[in-house]
Structure formats: structure tokens, C-alpha cells
Amino acid sequence: MLRLGFPIWYGYGERVEELIREARKTGFDYLEVSLDYPWPFKGSFQLGEVVEAAFSEGLSIAFHAPWRDLRLSSPFEDVRSASLKIFEKVVSEISNYEADYLVVHLSTDQAADRIEEIRDEVLDAALSSVDSLKRISKSFGLRLVVENVREDLEMFRKIASRASRICLDVGHVIVSTVRRLGRERVDEELERWLEALRDKVEIVHYSGVRFEGKWVRDHQLTDSSDKYLRRIKNELKEMKPRGL
């Protein structure tokens, strides 16, 4: 059965408890809590308070691993290794919470989409990180889910073949397609992603997308007029993910 998750992050500040109550009233099933610093280590309000508030409202918890400053696909081994160490510290800190899953980005600031000769290095780094992330997560009893970020389909398919579970972020697909191929290719490219990954998708991330001239932005509000949302709603019948 499809379960709906509501995103929570530290930047909501004092509104967090109010948003948790609203999420429950609106019909959400769980919270996906983004572990942006200073969570899970400290903060003016503690991560444990958020977890307790969620449970008191009858909501379960999932976690989004930190992604700012972490570069798990970096071809610089020192950067990648340091990112893995931080990931392991975070996972150790949250391991006492019962969580539905832990979703993670594999990212790098390198222009692998523009410089062909570094693609293999970036991919190798990503695959090595997947192996390490799976091992770390399993050792702490957490279900790891790998999310697409800036990868094109060919690269992410190889990553998905190594990962046990994947999260399809539709907004990320749209944004990366516009930047690489142009807005006119979005429908075609989204169809390719859905066809290629349908059987492996466990979680779907969806947010509105806004086009502004040559620019495109995701993580926007959306409504029933959103054609990509309608497309994904139809696709859910085939994909049957556990969470959205």
C-alpha cells in the first residue's frame, strides 16, 4: 500500500510541531526528516523531540541523510572518504530511532555531465560509496535507499544496479534534463527514466517545478494542473512504491 510522507527539516524552526500536527490531519502517514546540520547532533530543538512528536501523532519516521558538504561521488578520494565518515557518524547517532528508511544522495561538484573523461571516475566513486553505505546502514539496522540527483539515466542505472533500493526524484530528473538537453526533451526523458527504473523504485520524491525563461527550479509548490504530477500519479499504479 502506498504511504505518503511529509518532509521536515531544521529550517522550519518553531513551526515543526505545528507542521507535524497538520501533516497528520491532512492524511500523511510518515515524516521524512532531513538531517541538515545541526541535526542529529544538536540544535535549539532536538531531533528526539521531533521523533517523539511524530510518534505521538501516529506518524512513523524516515530519514534523509545530510547532503550539504557531503560528496559521496567525488573523484577526490579524501573528499569521498571524509563524506563516508560523516555519514557513519550520522547513522550511528540515529540508529536508536525506529525508521522506515534512510535516503541518501550520491553527489559531486565535478562537471561529470560536461567533461566526458571524468565520468568513469565519478561513477567508480559512486559505486564504491554505494557498497560502503549499504554496509554501514545494514550494520545499524537501517534500510538504505539511493536517490538520483544530477546523474543522467545511463549513469544512474549503473548505480541502481548496485543499490538494493532506489528513490526516484522526479524534480531532479526534470531539472537535469532541462540543463543538459533542453525543456523540449523533458517528456521523452522522464518516460525513459520511468521505463528503465519502474521495477526498482521504492520511494518517489515529487515537488513542483517552475520554468523561468532558461532557468528551471524544483522543490516548488504544485497543484492538480501539474502535468508531471498527473503523469506520476498514473505511473504509481505500475511502480507500486512503498512511499511518496
Domain boundaries, the chain: 170-244
**Number of residues that this document lists for the chain:** 244
- Distance CA(196)–CA(178), nearest Å, equals 19
- Distance CA(109)–CA(151), nearest Å, equals 12
Q: What is the pLDDT along the chain (244 residues), one digit of tens a residue?
A: 678 889 999 999 889 999 999 999 988 899 999 999 999 999 998 999 999 999 999 999 999 999 999 999 999 999 999 999 999 999 999 999 999 999 999 999 999 888 899 999 999 999 999 999 999 999 999 999 999 999 999 999 999 999 999 999 888 999 888 888 888 898 999 999 999 998 888 888 887 778 877 777 777 776 677 777 777 777 777 666 665 5
Task: Please name which of 19, 33, 6 lies closest in space to residue 244, comparing C-alpha atoms.
Answer: 6
- Distance CA(226)–CA(222), nearest Å, equals 6
Torsion, Cα of 51, 53, 54, 55 (10° steps)? 90
- Distance CA(10)–CA(15), nearest Å, equals 10
Q: Which helix (H) or strand (E) holds 75?
A: none
